[in-house]
């Protein structure tokens, strides 16, 4: 491959030459945008519940109610989510960094999984919000797939969400929750 006069450049080197930034630059820049932290849950062919930490989560549509999660195609949970008809999203509470780390593979799996049933589907106990969705569609985007789900059920609980910013967990400044 020849890019800007460089022969046989690696993909990272070629991208750097073409774009002027590398993957680390991209990650650092995207890390400037604070996100909530979720655990996406799914049920495998073996009937067991599985979860993966995902910060790429958003609402897509009000009518019909649609949500989206993005998961890397190399993630261990990818084949299970890709084969799922339903999935859950648990918006983690500010005191659940250990849960995030567990499902991100940064902590060893010890003790029982923190799942509780909601609308007939496993979600993470103690989260500030739960959403259960039926798979609607999916779109490959680079090395990730964006999974769109049609919301079947949702609920919220008191508390503040866990936030990820600049490569670490953060706490929101205390602001009273708006009612109504």
The domain limits of the chain are 1-30, 34-166
| The pLDDT value given to residue 51 | 96
**Cα–Cα–Cα angle for 17, 75, 137, rounded to 5 degrees:** 95
| The pLDDT value given to residue 132 | 98
| The pLDDT value given to residue 34 | 75
Q: Do 6 and 13 touch, CB atoms closer than 8 A? A: yes
pLDDT along the chain (180 residues), means of 10: 40 66 79 84 95 95 96 96 98 96 85 92 97 98 97 96 89 69
| The pLDDT value given to residue 4 | 39
In whole angstroms, give the CA distance from residue 45 to residue 64: 28
| The pLDDT value given to residue 48 | 94
Q: Do 73 and 81 touch, CB atoms closer than 8 A? A: no
| The pLDDT value given to residue 117 | 97
pTM of the entire predicted model = 0.83
Query: Architecture of 34-166 per CATH?
Result: Roll (2.30)
Nearest to 102 by CA among 117, 94, 112: 112
């Amino acid at each position: 491959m020849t890019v800007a006069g460089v022969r046989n450049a690696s993909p990272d080197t070629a991208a750097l030459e073409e774009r002027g930034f590398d993957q680390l630059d991209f990650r650092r820049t995207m890390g400037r945008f604070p996100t909530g932290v979720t655990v996406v849950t799914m049920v495998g062919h073996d009937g067991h519940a599985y979860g993966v930490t995902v910060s790429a989560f958003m609402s897509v549509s009000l009518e019909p109610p649609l949500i989206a999660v993005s998961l890397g195609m190399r993630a261990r949970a990818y084949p299970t989510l890709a084969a799922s008809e339903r999935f859950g999203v648990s918006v983690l509470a500010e005191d659940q960094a250990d849960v995030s780390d567990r499902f991100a593979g940064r902590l060893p799996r010890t003790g029982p999984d923190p799942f509780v049933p909601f609308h007939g589907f496993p979600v993470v106990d103690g989260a500030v919000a739960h959403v259960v969705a039926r798979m609607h569609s999916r779109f490959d985007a680079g090395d990730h797939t964006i999974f769109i789900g049609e919301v079947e059920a949702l609920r919220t609980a008191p508390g503040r969400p866990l936030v990820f910013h600049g490569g670490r967990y953060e706490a929101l400044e205390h602001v009273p929750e708006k009612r109504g």
